Amino acid sequence: MPRYSKQPPAEPAQDQKPARRPPLRVARELMLGTTAVLATLFTSGCGVSELRTPTRMDKGLIIILPGIEGRSPLNSSIAKGLAEGGVPAAITIHDWSLAPTFLAGVVNLRAQSHNLSEARRVAANIVAYQNKYPGRPVHVIGHSGGGGVAVYVLEALPPRHEITSAVLLAPAISPDYDLRRALKKTQEGIWNFYSPYDVGFLKLGTSVAGTIDGRMTQAAGAVGFSIPWGLSREERQLYGERLHQQRYTPKMAESGNTGSHFGWAGRSFVAEWLAPLINSQAEAPTRYAADRESSQ
């Protein structure tokens, strides 16, 4: 289980490298892990209406943005994992997809005008919630293409409105995307969970089909975000304080996440890794999310 602390770890999360494994072993583990995750997810059902009760709404709001497949057991698994991990806030899923089928994924990913419009809708929903429940924590969690939409949501928030944090799980957005506007709309920052083993979707896939922001490149969900050139000292400080990057580590395999594109949505991983992150921000500022026990 990860430890979330107000103090930075001895080594930044983005510098923690998983132990090198033979390519055939990696491929085998990813295949088996992905198969296991999908088998669990697609037999778990999609209902999460019980997570939007008035009692939960009064304690905060978490908006989950699905990947390019649209609403599915993948995002339902994230919601249920948060609940199992003890997150008390209301949890809702916003399907931003234009064509809610996995086969239409590339269409969903590259429908820029539609995606920006959906981001504005989510931002408007956040403002409405904050007006009704002032001072409550608000988090946005985006998986894959939803990670890119989460960034757009932050950018769409009007002046004097910000959220507690955003969590990006394998985001399909370019690694050099300018996050300054988005980072300024968070109190605790943006967490980027990424895996170098996400080859099929976020290395090869986005290099051919493009990222959500239209770049033919490996995505930030595979290689992490980079800091743009030419930033002022204040802007570099903004990145340093509010962008928290957690690379995949072997420790995560104990929670069922083998570093594949779908591993981030597993209920056990979400309950054991993401729920503590969300809960840790309820009372005290949290700056880093790191697998501090792993030195592999």
Q: Is the pLDDT of residue 179 over 70?
A: yes
For residue 52, which of 79, 12, 92 has the smallest C-alpha distance?
92
Q: pLDDT tens for residues 45-88?
A: 446 888 999 999 999 999 999 999 888 999 999 999 999 999 99
Nearest to 261 by CA among 178, 145, 179, 175: 145
Backbone angles phi, psi at 264, to 5 degrees: -65, -20
Instruction: Give the pairing of strands 186-194 and 243-247.
Output: parallel
* Residues 65, 97: Cα–Cα separation, whole Å: 9
State how far the alpha carbon of 268 is from the alpha carbons of 1, 15, 181, 261, in Å: 10, 25, 33, 15
DSSP H or E run through 159 = none
Q: Is there a contact between 61 and 129 (Cβ–Cβ < 8 Å)?
A: yes
Q: Which tens digit of pLDDT belongs to each residue from 202-219?
A: 999 999 999 999 999 999
pTM assigned to the model: 0.82
Fold exhibited by the domain 3-290? Rossmann fold (3.40.50)
Mean pLDDT for the chain overall: 85
Q: Is the pLDDT of residue 18 over 80?
A: no
**pLDDT, average across residues 269-291:** 76
Q: What is the pLDDT of residues 122-157, one digit of tens each?
A: 999 999 999 999 999 999 999 999 999 999 999 999
174, 211 Cβ separation under 8 angstroms: yes
User: How far apart are alpha carbons 219 and 208 in whole angstroms?
Assistant: 11
Token pair listed for 123: 């931002």
